[in-house]
Amino acid sequence: MRGNAEAHELIALGSLAAVLELLAGAPGEWTPIAGGTEIMVAHAAGRLREKKMVNLWGLSELRFIQGSSNSIAIGGGVTFRDLRTHEGVAAGAPLLAKAATWIGSIANQSRATIGGNLVNGSPAADSSPALLVYDAEVELISVRGRRRIAYSDFHTGYKRNAMAADELLFAVHVPLRFAKHKQYLRKVGTRRAMAISKVALGGTALLRTGVVSEIRLAAASLAPFPMRLFRTEAALQGRTLDEAAIREAQEALMEEAKPIDDIRSTAAYRSRVAANLLGEFLNELLPAETRR
Partner 1 sequence: MSERQAKHQSRISFIVNGEKRAVDVPPMKRLLDVLREDLRLTGTKEGCGEGECGSCSVRMNGELVNSCLVPVLQAEGAEIETVEGLGRGGELHPIQAAFLACGGAQCGICTPGMLMATAQLLAVNPHPTIGEIREGLAGNLCRCTGFKRIFDSVAAAVGDMDASAKTGEVHAG
Which residue lies nearer to partner 1 by CB, 44 or 164? 44
Over the window 108 to 137, marking each residue x when it contacts partner 1 by CB under 8 A and - when it does not, the resulting string is x-xx--------------------------
| Least gap, CB of 271 to partner 1 (angstroms) | 28
Give the HSE-up count for residue 120: Cα atoms under 13 Å, Cβ half-sphere.
24
With residue 128 as reference, give the H or E element that holds it.
helix 128-133
* Binding residue for partner 1, selected from 25, 58, 210, 238, defined by CB under 8 A: 58
| Least gap, CB of 143 to partner 1 (angstroms) | 24
Cα–Cα distances (Å) from 189 to 186, 258, 262, in that order, read 10, 18, 13
Cα–Cα distances (Å) from 102 to 50, 87, 123, 200, 233, in that order, read 29, 17, 16, 11, 26
Residues 25 to 44 in contact with partner 1, rule: CB under 8 A: 33, 35-37, 40-41, 43-44
Which residue lies nearer to partner 1 by CB, 7 or 268? 7
CA distance 243 to 169: 42
DSSP string covering 197-256: PSEEEEEEEEEETTEEEEEEEEEESSSSS-EE-HHHHHHHTTPBPSHHHHHHHHHHHHHH
| Least gap, CB of 258 to partner 1 (angstroms) | 28
Angle between helices 267-285 and 243-256 (to 10 degrees): 150
Stretch that binds partner 1, among 9-17, 18-26, 64-72, 274-282 (CB under 8 A): 9-17
* Binding residue for partner 1, selected from 65, 193, 206, 211, defined by CB under 8 A: 193
Which residue lies nearer to partner 1 by CB, 36 or 92? 36
* Binding residue for partner 1, selected from 17, 26, 91, 107, defined by CB under 8 A: 107
Q: Is 57 in the site for partner 1 (CB under 8 A)?
A: yes
* Binding residue for partner 1, selected from 19, 53, 74, 241, defined by CB under 8 A: 53
Nearest to residue 190, comparing CAs of 280, 100, 264?
A: 264
Stretch that binds partner 1, among 5-13, 66-74, 132-140, 168-176 (CB under 8 A): 5-13
